[in-house]
Amino acid sequence: MKSIGLFRLWLIILLLLPLAAREVVPLSKTRFRVLYDNGSQRTVDLTGKEFVVVSVREPGSDGRFYAVDRDGIVWWTGAITSGADDYKTPSGIYPVLYKKRHHMSTKYPDPSGVNNMDFSIFFTHQGHALHKGSVNWMSHGCIHIDPRDIRTLYRWAKPGTTRVVITRHSYMPFARPDLLKFHLK
């Protein structure tokens, strides 16, 4: 009996852990195909949910973030930098785990002692976050967002509710119609 209980507990834990996504492909403004390292795939529909799409700064991507509200409207966008070659930002769809207004990286602290990850929106247990940073240099795996944009995104994102979609594909074709509407007003 004990082994069955432990097996069930192990199975529940395994199901709660996200599989490593090899690739996330935008299919529409709110639908994404997720391809996993084990060869499986699934389609995730985020219709009716708030999420941030990050099209990492690599060839074939936009190097931008896009905030999408529950109505499927892209209401904010801005430039980003993502992980450098040796520190690739992981692809996937993640929940916002928690936010921290003032933060210093424990793994890569700034030698000056100044906080280097303010306005952090953490989305992996390994410490990946969207945070204030220069969009002129690549990161150690986090997403640097310009100081002019991160405050707005930080206030809007909700732990447990908002999702973060990391893709290596362009999202601009889906965002462009909304962005043109805002630009013209």
Note whether residue 56 is domain-resident. yes
Whether 18 shows a pLDDT value over 80: the answer reads no
Residue 177 belongs to domain with CATH number = 2.40.440.10
Mean pLDDT of the chain: 85
Residue 6 in any domain: the answer is: no
Q: Do the domain assignments include residue 94? A: yes
pTM (two decimals): 0.84
Q: Identify whether 179 is part of a domain.
A: yes
Burial 145-182 (b: 16+ CB within 10 A, else e): bbeebbeebbeebeeeebbbbbbbbebbebbeebeeee
> Is residue 144 situated within a structural domain?
yes
Q: How confident is the model at residue 109 (pLDDT cuts 50, 70, 90)?
A: low
pLDDT at residue 111 above 70? no
pLDDT tens-place string over residues 124-180: 998 899 999 888 887 777 899 999 999 999 999 999 999 999 999 999 999 999 999
Contact at 8 Å (CB) between 55 and 61?
A: yes
Decide if 141 is inside a domain.
Answer: yes
Provide the residue range defining the domain that includes 86.
22-184
For residue 9, tell me if it sits in a domain: no
Confidence of residue 61 (pLDDT cuts 50, 70, 90): confident
**36 pLDDT tier (thresholds 50, 70, 90):** very high
Residue 3 in domain = no
Q: How many domains does the chain have?
A: 1
Beta-carbon contacts of residue 111 (< 8 Å; ≥ 6 apart): none
Lowest mean pLDDT among 30-44, 67-81, 131-145, 161-175: 131-145
pLDDT at position 60: 80
